[in-house]
């Protein structure tokens, strides 16, 4: 699941998530996470994820 939040400027008017995308993958892995990141996340985006190894590559993909 990917959840986009509102920018600081929009927070005064909005509450909650701006957009939520869900995906079904059989196993969390770097190949699938990398493909979804390339398709849906802009470079420079701040990302929060759990500590699963599949997300380790996010440190290098969104810089």
Model pLDDT, residue 35: 94
Domain ranges of the chain: 2-61
- The model's pTM: 0.75
Q: What is the pLDDT of residues 6-63, one digit of tens each?
A: 877 777 677 778 889 999 999 999 999 999 999 999 888 888 899 999 999 988 876 6
CA distances from 8 to 13, 14, 57, 63 (A): 10, 10, 27, 20
- Residue 17, helix vs strand vs coil: strand
Question: Assign residue 27 a region: left if phi > 0, alpha if psi is -120 to 50, beta otherwise?
Answer: beta
């Amino acid at each position: 699941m990917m959840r986009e939040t509102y920018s600081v400027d929009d927070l005064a008017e909005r509450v909650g998530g701006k957009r939520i995308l869900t995906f079904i993958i059989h196993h969390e892995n770097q190949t699938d996470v990398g493909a979804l990141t390339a398709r849906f996340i802009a470079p420079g985006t701040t990302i929060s994820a759990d500590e699963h190894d599949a997300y380790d590559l996010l440190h290098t993909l969104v810089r």
